[in-house]
Structure 1
Amino acid sequence: MEINFIALLVAAIMTLVVGFIWYHPKVFGTVWMRESNLTEEVLRTGNMLKIFGLTYVFSLMITIVLMALTIHQSGAVGMVGGPPLIASAKPSFAAFMADYGTAYRTFKHGALHGFISGLFFAFPVVGINSLFERKSWKYILIHAGFWIVTLTLMGGIVCAFA
Structure 2
Amino acid sequence: MNPSLINWAAVVVAALSSFIVGGIWYSPALFANAWMADNKLNTDKLKASSKLRSFGMTAIFSLIMAANLAAFLADDKTDLTWGTTAGFLAGIWTFSAIAIMSLFELKSWRLIFINGGYSLVSLTLMGAIIGWWR
CA RMSD of aligned residues (A): 1.4
Q: Structure 1 residue 64 and structure 2 residue 67: aligned? A: yes
Q: Secondary structure at the match of 1:26?
A: coil
Q: TM-score, normalised by structure 2?
A: 0.91
Give the CA deviation at 1:65. 1.5
Q: Structure 1 residue 108 and structure 2 residue 81: aligned? A: yes
Give the CA deviation at 1:2. 4.0
Give the Cα separation in 1 of the matches to 2:82 and 2:118.
20
Partner of 1:90: none
Aligned ranges 1:135-154 → 2 under 5 Å: 135-154=107-126
Give the Cα separation in 1 of the matches to 2:29 and 2:127.
26
Q: Secondary structure at the match of 2:107?
A: coil
Q: Tell me how many residue pairs correspond in the alignment.
A: 131
Q: Structure 1 residue 49 and structure 2 residue 52: aligned? A: yes
Q: Which runs of 4+ in 1 moved over 3 A?
A: none
Q: What percent of counterpart residues are identical?
A: 37
Give the Cα separation in 2 of the matches to 1:125 and 1:35.
18
Deviation track 1:116-146 (CA, whole Å, cap 9, x = no partner) reads 1111x11111011111111000000000100
Deviation track 1:138-158 (CA, whole Å, cap 9, x = no partner) reads 000000100000000001112
Give the Cα separation in 2 of the matches to 1:32 and 1:152.
21
Deviation track 1:42-88 (CA, whole Å, cap 9, x = no partner) reads 011111122111101111111122023333x2xxxxxxxxxxxxxxx
Long gaps (5+) in structure 2:
none
Is the contact between residue 6 and residue 70 of structure 2 (CA under 8 Å) also seen in structure 1? no
Determine which of 26, 34, 38 is the counterpart of 1:35. 38
Long gaps (5+) in structure 1:
74-100
Partner of 1:118: 91
Q: Secondary structure at the match of 1:27?
A: coil
Greater relative CO, 1 or 2 (CA 8 Å, sep 6+): 2
Partner of 2:21: 18
Q: Secondary structure at the match of 1:25?
A: coil
Partner of 1:3: 6
Give the Cα separation in 1 of the matches to 2:37 and 2:103.
17
Give the Cα separation in 1 of the matches to 2:132 and 2:35.
32
Is the contact between residue 91 and residue 120 of structure 2 (CA under 8 Å) also seen in structure 1? yes
Give the Cα separation in 2 of the matches to 1:21 and 1:127.
21
